[in-house]
Amino acid sequence: NAGVTQTPKFQVLKTGQSMTLQCAQDMNHEYMSWYRQDPGMGLRLIHYSVGAGITDQGEVPNGYNVSRSTTEDFPLRLLSAAPSQTSVYFCASRTGTFLQADTQYFGPGTRLTVL
């Protein structure tokens, strides 16, 4: 049971480049989410999904796209990277869509730098 895995661990992009951050979980969790962590700002929700084929926006969705074709995977796409997207990105998952108090499990993070 690997939990929540994220790849890559580190990435450097040039402004305007695109890339996909990968997230996978093997716990059969319905709910998955992406956060970005910036100094002095805590974690902010980018997008979340309550099941395959269902996604919704969080607090800071601009510049990011997501899709959920399987229960296990929830990739985050940056279509045209900007320096303001330099951050540490965390993926998380939890059981159930209506059990809001269930524990969220976090991945180890992806540190992204946009030059």
What residues are paired with 66 via a beta bridge?
A: 76
**Residues found near other proteins in the complex (CB under 8 A):** 4, 31, 33, 35, 40-45, 48, 50, 56, 58-59, 90, 92, 97-101, 103-104, 106-109
Shortest separation between residue 16's beta carbon and other proteins, angstroms: 29
The distance of closest approach from Cβ of residue 96 to other proteins in the complex, given in angstroms and rounded to an integer, is 9
Exposed, middle or buried, 19 (CB in 10 Å: 0-12/13-18/19+)? Answer: middle
Residue 54 vs 82, nearer CB to other proteins:
54
The residue among 82 and 99 lying less far from other proteins, judged by its C-beta, is 99
C-beta of 16 vs 53, nearer to other proteins: 53
| Triad 40, 57, 86: Cα angle to 5° | 40
Determine the Cα–Cα distance for residues 4 and 107; give it in Å rounded to an integer. Answer: 5
CB of 83 to other proteins, least distance (A): 22
**How far apart are the C-alpha atoms of 7 and 9, rounded to whole Å?**
5
Smallest distance, other proteins to C-beta of residue 110, A: 11
Instruction: Judge contact between 93 and 62, C-beta under 8 A.
Output: no
